[in-house]
Amino acid sequence: MKRFEPQKEDILSAGIDIGTSTTKIVISKFSLMNMAGGMHMPRIEIINKEILYRSPIYRTPLLSTTTIDSKAVETLVMKEYELAGIEPNDIQTGAVIITGETATKQNAQEMVHYLSDHAGEFLVATAGPDLEGIIAAKGSGAYEYSKKTGKVIANIDIGGGTANVAVYKSGKLCGTCTLHIGGRLIEFEGNQIKSISSPIKKLIQQWGSAAAIKEGDRRDLSVIQKLIDFMAAVIARMLNRNLLESDQPLLLGHEPNWQEDIDAIMFSGGISECIYKYESVITGTAQYDDIGEMLAASLRESQELSSWQWLKPVETVRATVLGAGTQTTEISGATIHAESHDLPLRNLPVYQIRLGYDLEDGIKRMPEAVQNAMDIYDPQREGQNFALYVTEIPYLGFRDVQALATAILHAMQIKPNKKQPLVIVLESDHAKVLGQTIKVQNPAQSQSIICIDQIQVEHGDYIDIGHLLQTSVVPVVIKTLTFHH
């Protein structure tokens, strides 16, 4: 039993954003502090986040239109670490996020996992349009503004390939939506059209001969402006939850899924940089070789969009990288059961079982829940581990904890790999006692038990659990892993 618990600890976080057009890196320092008094149960919180280093903004290196140049991305990251004066093993948390059209590249998944293994002890590989929107809203200041004012704010993060929208009210996420709208959907070379992305081609087909443009045509065709104005109008219709059939080629994934009417809008991403000009220069960028500036002008002049209050973002093109580096980490409760030789754990899918505040009924349903989790995450029984997330837990006495531990152990017997860690995530404060009870009851002593609490996750999320820190907590990063092809 440790007699002395340090009261304060600093950890370093990295955010790496590999987007359709640009790649950037941010290094931050988090200060953790025990906010409970000496006689109380420890309550470790992040009390301060300080940005130590921001990289220049680089053009994302590509080998071809379908492949990212992984070697060049790694070289760029390592060079920036050196300039920031840090080593990869100094990094204890953070996120590598692959955004926009880059997530559709052939080697996206392989590259982001490789980078998350080599760029730090505990860096998370993430992708997925909904998550991008959420992270950008936190980096741009929209989330914070909604928390302070209680208003409904839509953050519209527009980069090279996608517009990721996240709507917040009073700091709570109301919904998300993603559109194929971005600065690089039509690219130019000299006075000619160099490339037209596939969503725009679908739109052109739908419009028929009135919009017949193709690669090699002149860049000053009036139909290009019409297409750009249409994009701005689609954004307005999406904000009103009123997309038309004709807008469908530009929708990526699900329809707008919030119920609230929006009070104010904020733009972030590369296109908002064209609106606000916060940055002095983007490294390696040839200006005006795409429709970015035209799209920014069309948004500014849109009648439909002028009906909302426009809020200035705190960050434009760096919103996602700052969100990834400073907003993705949570801290577990301090009374947890974690065996450090098995940490960090990465990319564990989460399966939620609600006890419904009825222990007896919850225990009865446990074997079926674990069976379902296996069918979803490990259908071939190859040994893919997962975390069991137990919520709606009633008050537990000593015997109740024993009964729950027995039920979990019994249900988990069907897992093919008995040696992999048993990972339990609890909504409420029972991790230490439950973890220790499972350990005592567990006949397979070779299996380690990781039981953490005070973490809010969603069914289908993935979690990463970092090394045990001096303050007896673990950093936890919750994310969605979706590489949309």
Kindly tell me the sign of the dihedral angle through the C-alpha atoms of 360, 364, 367, 369.
negative
Comparing 20 with 74, the larger pLDDT belongs to 74
Q: Quote the percentage of the chain above a pLDDT of 90.
A: 40
**pLDDT at residue 50, rounded to an integer:** 86
**pLDDT at residue 238, rounded to an integer:** 97
Calculate mean pLDDT across residues 208-233: 87
Q: Quote the percentage of the chain above a pLDDT of 70.
A: 89
Residues 6+ apart with CB under 8 A from 467: 92, 121, 122, 340, 343, 344, 474
Calculate mean pLDDT across residues 180-190: 93
Residues 157-170: pLDDT tens digits?
A: 999 889 999 999 99
For the chain, the straight-line distance linking the first and the last C-alpha, in angstroms and rounded, comes to 50
100-114, 210-224, 435-449, range with the lowest pLDDT: 100-114
Comparing 263 with 469, the larger pLDDT belongs to 263
Residue 144 has pLDDT above 80, yes or no: yes
Residues 399-423: pLDDT tens digits?
A: 999 999 999 999 988 888 888 899 9
Q: Which of 166, 82, 73, 165 is nearest to 125 (CA)?
A: 73
**pLDDT at residue 284, rounded to an integer:** 43
**pLDDT at residue 41, rounded to an integer:** 61
How far is Cα 72 from Cα 76, in angstroms, rounded to an integer? 6
Residue 286 has pLDDT above 70, yes or no: no
| Angle at the Cα of 453 from the Cα atoms of 36 and 325, rounded to 5 degrees | 85
Residue 137 tokens, joined: 């809203």
**pLDDT at residue 346, rounded to an integer:** 79
Categorize the per-residue pLDDT at 461 as very low, low, confident or very high, splitting at 50, 70 and 90.
Answer: confident
Calculate mean pLDDT across residues 59-65: 88
**pLDDT at residue 333, rounded to an integer:** 75
Residue 2 has pLDDT above 60, yes or no: no
Categorize the per-residue pLDDT at 40 as very low, low, confident or very high, splitting at 50, 70 and 90.
Answer: low
Residue 326 has pLDDT above 90, yes or no: no
Residue 471 has pLDDT above 70, yes or no: yes
**pLDDT at residue 466, rounded to an integer:** 85
Calculate mean pLDDT across residues 66-91: 92
Categorize the per-residue pLDDT at 479 as very low, low, confident or very high, splitting at 50, 70 and 90.
Answer: low
How many DSSP H helices and E strands does the chain contain? Answer: 12, 22
CB 298 within 8 A of CB 326: no
CB 433 within 8 A of CB 305: no
Q: Which of 184, 226, 188 is nearest to 207 (CA)?
A: 226
Residue 173 has pLDDT above 80, yes or no: yes
Residues 6+ apart with CB under 8 A from 245: none
Comparing 281 with 310, the larger pLDDT belongs to 310
Q: Which of 323, 329, 325, 328 is nearest to 141 (CA)?
A: 323
Calculate mean pLDDT across residues 237-241: 97
Residue 352 has pLDDT above 80, yes or no: yes
Q: Which of 464, 438, 471 is nearest to 335 (CA)?
A: 471
Residues 81-112: pLDDT tens digits?
A: 999 999 998 988 887 878 777 777 888 878 87
Could you give the count of Cα atoms lying within 13 Å of 87 in the half-sphere of its Cβ?
3
Q: What is the widest separation between alpha-carbon atoms in the chain?
A: 78
* Consecutive H or E run containing 475: strand 475-479
Calculate mean pLDDT across residues 119-136: 72
Calculate mean pLDDT across residues 118-138: 74
**pLDDT at residue 447, rounded to an integer:** 82
Comparing 6 with 195, the larger pLDDT belongs to 195
Q: Which of 76, 97, 101 is nearest to 17 (CA)?
A: 97
Mean pLDDT, the chain, rounded, equals 85
Calculate mean pLDDT across residues 375-382: 81
Comparing 237 with 339, the larger pLDDT belongs to 237
How far is Cα 236 from Cα 299, in angstroms, rounded to an integer? 10
DSSP result, 430-445: -HHHHHHHHHHH-S-T
